[in-house]
Amino acid sequence: MSNSRLAIISLSIVLIVSLFGAFYFFRRADLGAKTPLTFWGVYDDAESFSSAIAGFQKLYPNISVNYVKKDETTYESDLLNALALDEAPDIIMIHNSWLPKYANKLASAPDTAVSIKTLRDSFPGVVEQDFTASGKIFALPLNLDTLALFYNKKLFNSQNIAFPPATWDEFSDDSAKLKKINQAGKIERAGAAFGGSADSINRESDILSLLMLQSGAAMVKDDFSEASFFHSGENGQYPGQNALNFYVSFANPKSSNYTWNDNLHYSIDAFSEGSAAMMINYSHKINEVKTKNPFLDFGVAPVPQLKGADIQVNYPDYWGAAVLSKSKNTSASWTFTSYLSLNLDAANSYFQTTKRPPALRSLISSCQNDPDIGSFCSQSLSARSWPKIDNNKIDIIFSDMIKSILSGKLSSSDALRQAEDNVTLLMKQL
C-alpha cells in the first residue's frame, strides 16, 4: 500500500473519530441543557412554590423554574416596562379581573396542557368566566378567595345574638342591635363597617359589586360593549340602584340603618379594635386582624344573601398563572402552569403553605370545616364576578359614586348613571 493511500486512510479515520466525538459532545451538552423559565408573582414568597417546583423538576428535569416575588405597588408598571424592553418573564400572575386588558399579551393554553372540559371539571364555574375568552384558556388559578362576614363574638353574645346573620335583613337587624350612638349623634360603636367610600371601607367596590350581582344587576352587556349596572331588569326594577341604596343607607344619618361614616377608623382597624361589630372582607385579612388584636374573639361566617334567594351569589378575589406570548418557551411554560394548578400534590402543597382557600375542586371539600377559612371554601362554588378591566380604576369610580351620594351632591340614580358612563369609557379604552 502506498504512502499516499495510508495517509488518506489515516486522515479519514481521524475525521470520522472527530465527527463522532463532536456529535457525542454536543449531544451530551444538549441533554444537559435546561429550558429556563422565569415566573413572576406578587403576594407569595418563594417558599409557597418550592415544593411544587421541586416536584415538577423531578418529572421535567430539562426545565428549570425561577420564581421572583415582585412589589405589588409596582408590579404592573414593572411588567409593562419589561415587555417593552423584551425582558419580560415567561409566566406571570394576573388578577381575576385583568383578562380584558391582558389577553393580547398572553399565550392561550394548548389542549395538551389543559382543555376547557378539564377546566370545568377541575375548578368552580367563575374560573371559566374570568380566565377564558373565545373558547381559549388564558390563565389557571392557584386559590379562590371570596367575601365573607367577620363578626365580633363577644359583642354578639352581649346582645344575645346567637348566630351571625344569614340574610341582609338579618344583617340590618343585628347591626341596629349592636350599634351605639350617643345623644349627640356620635357613633361610639358601629354595628358594621359598611356603607362608606374607599376612604373608610376596605374593598368597598367589591362589597357593592356583590350586592349588585346578588340583586340581579347585569354589570356589563353580554357583548362587552358597555357597562349596564344602571339598566332596569326584566321586571322594570333597577337592581343596581336598589343595591346601592341599601349599601349607602348604613352611612346615611337619616336612615334607620345608620351606623357608619367616613370619619370613623378604617374598617379593618375599627373591627380589630372592637369599635365595629361586623366587617365584610376576604380570608387574607384574618391574619391582619389577629396581628392587630391577638385577643379579639371573632368568627367568620358566609356572607349574607338576599332573603328567599334560590341561588347563592358570592364574590371572588383571586389570581391565576398566565403565560406571556413573548415567552420563548410557551410550551414549557404552559406545562409548568398546568402542573402548578392542576396537579393535586402541587396544589395541596401551595394550600398547606399559604392557607389560602384552594381553587381545585378536589381540595375545596377538604377545607370546608376549617375554623378560619371554611366559609370561604364553601362559597367558592357559587362565586360570580364581572370583567372590571382595571380594578384600581373601578375602585375609584365606585368610591366617587358613594361620596357624591353621601355628600348630597348627586342622587343615587344620577351617581349610578355617572359611574356607569365612566366604566363604559374605561371599557372603550381597551
Instruction: Identify which has the larger pLDDT, 376 or 6.
Output: 376
25 pLDDT higher than 50: no
The CA–CA distances, whole Å, from 254 to 174, 189, 223, 242, 263 equal: 18, 17, 40, 17, 17
The CA–CA distances, whole Å, from 196 to 283, 400, 421 equal: 21, 11, 22
Check residue 23 and give its pLDDT: 39
* Average pLDDT value for residue range 34-45: 96
Q: Please tell me the CATH code under which domain 146-315+386-428 is placed.
A: 3.40.190.10
* Average pLDDT value for residue range 21-27: 38
**Side-chain half-sphere exposure of 73, counting CA atoms within 13 A:** 0
Instruction: Identify which has the larger pLDDT, 90 or 26.
Output: 90
**Side-chain half-sphere exposure of 210, counting CA atoms within 13 A:** 29
Query: Distance between CA atoms of 370 and 319, rounded to whole angstroms?
Result: 22
Architecture of domain 34-144+318-382: 3-Layer(aba) Sandwich (3.40)
Query: Distance between CA atoms of 305 and 169, rounded to whole angstroms?
Result: 9
Which residue reads 344602571 in cell numbers? 230
Return the C-alpha cell found at 207.
Answer: 362589597
CA nearest neighbour of 418 among 229, 212, 223, 209: 229
Question: Exposed/middle/buried for 58, CB within 10 Å: 0-12, 13-18, 19+?
Answer: exposed
The CA–CA distances, whole Å, from 323 to 91, 109, 337, 407 equal: 5, 8, 8, 45
Return the C-alpha cell found at 82.
Answer: 419589561
Check residue 402 and give its pLDDT: 99
* Average pLDDT value for residue range 346-371: 94
Check residue 430 and give its pLDDT: 77
CA nearest neighbour of 228 among 426, 423, 400, 398: 423
Give the whole-number percent of the chain exceeding pLDDT 90: 87
- Dump the DSSP string for 227-265: B-TTS--TTS--HHHHHHHHHHHTT-TTSTT----TTSP
Check residue 41 and give its pLDDT: 97
36 pLDDT higher than 70: yes
* Average pLDDT value for residue range 307-336: 97
Check residue 328 and give its pLDDT: 96
Fold matches, 34-144+318-382 and 146-315+386-428: yes
Check residue 382 and give its pLDDT: 98
* Average pLDDT value for residue range 85-110: 96
**The amino acid at 177:** K
**E strands, 96-163, in order:** 106-107, 132-133, 136-137, 140-141, 145-146, 148-152
Contact 339, 56 (CB under 8 A): yes
CA nearest neighbour of 417 among 245, 248, 240: 240
50 pLDDT higher than 80: yes
Q: What's the pLDDT band for 78 if we cut at 50, 70, 90?
A: very high
Q: What's the pLDDT band for 196 if we cut at 50, 70, 90?
A: very high
Contact 408, 402 (CB under 8 A): no
Contact 355, 142 (CB under 8 A): no
Helices and strands counted in the chain (H then E): 18, 15
Contact 229, 244 (CB under 8 A): no
54 pLDDT higher than 70: yes
Contact 289, 271 (CB under 8 A): yes
Rounding to the nearest 10 degrees, give the CA dihedral for residues 382, 111, 75, 343. Answer: 70
Domain spans of the chain?
34-144+318-382, 146-315+386-428
The CA–CA distances, whole Å, from 321 to 46, 153, 169, 179, 385 equal: 15, 37, 39, 43, 18
* Average pLDDT value for residue range 133-146: 97
pLDDT tens-digit map of 197-221 = 999 999 999 999 999 999 999 999 9
394 pLDDT higher than 70: yes
What is the chain's mean pLDDT, rounded?
A: 92
* Average pLDDT value for residue range 149-162: 98
In this structure, which long-range contacts are made by residues 158-166, counting pairs with CB atoms below 8 Å and at least 24 apart in sequence? 164/299, 164/301, 165/301, 165/304, 166/301, 166/302, 166/304, 166/305
* Average pLDDT value for residue range 69-87: 96
Check residue 231 and give its pLDDT: 86
* Average pLDDT value for residue range 381-399: 94
Check residue 7 and give its pLDDT: 44
Q: What's the pLDDT band for 27 if we cut at 50, 70, 90?
A: very low
Other C-beta atoms lying within 10 Å of the C-beta of residue 129: 16
Q: What's the pLDDT band for 29 if we cut at 50, 70, 90?
A: very low
pLDDT tens-digit map of 239-268 = 999 999 999 999 999 999 999 999 999 999
Check residue 405 and give its pLDDT: 98
Query: Distance between CA atoms of 153 and 104, rounded to whole angstroms?
Result: 48
Check residue 32 and give its pLDDT: 52
In 274-321, which ranges are continuous DSSP H helix? 286-292
* pTM, entire model: 0.90
